[in-house]
Amino acid sequence: MRDINKIAVLLFVRNAYEESKLKQLVKGESSKNVHLFKYLNKRIVNTVKQTDFDYFIIDSSHQHGNTFAERFKHAFKSIFEKGYDAVISLGNDTPQVSSQTLHDVVHCFENHDVVVGKTNLGGAYTIGLTKYAFSKCSFESVDWSTSRVVESIEKRAIFQGSSYFQLETVYTELSTHSDLKLFIQQLIEKEICLIEDYFFLGLIRPIKHHYNYRQLKMNALQIGVTEIRGSPAA
């Protein structure tokens, strides 16, 4: 086993207000869209808190650089400079990510320097880099914000001589209104199971007040899962 003992988690996120302006997951209701992103940001922090890993939240106010690649690279660099052997990044746009995801990446560090989890859109829900891989990585060579993110990371890892591994599980990414509709449909069909599924299922305005999967499924079929609304206030 390699000497990868000191590991940190990077939460590279925008604040909920900025995110809501760029991603209209809940259409036509900005305040509820903000509420959804506040939930997603809080959820990913709580996920990391379930582990013993150190974590660093680097939001828009602490990101430096003119491009996404520059900002993302600087975030990794700032953590490696604190003496960590490896850094695992997580975003807020894949609700299926769990504390087990982090443990899976750490396990892969035993034999690999670059570990990636792929989304259904070709993006990455997690990117783990050892210090060795980071020292050779060219963030500018990755096709960020495209369906080729994971593909380009793999090609770059091979080119630079870093051992690469892709996690088996593919998760659903939430970037658009259509993505959210798909995610909710997967919850209804039980293709995805989450402890907090009723938060997301609550984004569908029910025809009746009784919440159950059969009724929610019937509602979704009747309205085509298009009547998406923000979560009811707690």
**Can you give the pTM of this predicted structure?**
0.86
The answer on 40 and 81 residing in a single domain is: yes
Whether residues 205 and 155 share a domain: the answer is no
230: in domain: no
End-to-end CA distance of the chain: 47
Which CATH number do you get for residue 75? 3.90.550.10
233 located within any domain: no
- Domain shared by 158 and 186, yes or no: no
Burial of 218 (0-12, 13-18, 19+ CB in 10 A): middle
Say yes or no: 70 and 28 in one domain: yes
| Number of structural domains the chain divides into | 2
Q: Which domain holds residue 213?
A: 177-223
pLDDT string in tens for the chain (234-residue length): 478 989 999 999 998 989 988 998 988 778 888 989 999 999 999 999 999 999 999 998 889 999 999 999 999 999 999 999 999 999 899 999 999 999 999 999 999 999 999 999 999 999 999 999 999 989 999 999 999 999 999 999 999 999 999 999 999 999 999 999 899 889 888 899 888 777 887 776 544 444 455 555 545 444 444 444 443 333
Same domain, 115 and 210: no
Q: How many CB atoms lie within 10 A of CB 120?
A: 16
Q: 199 and 156 in one domain?
A: no
**Is 12 in the same domain as 46?**
yes
Last residue of a domain, one of 166, 194, 212: 166
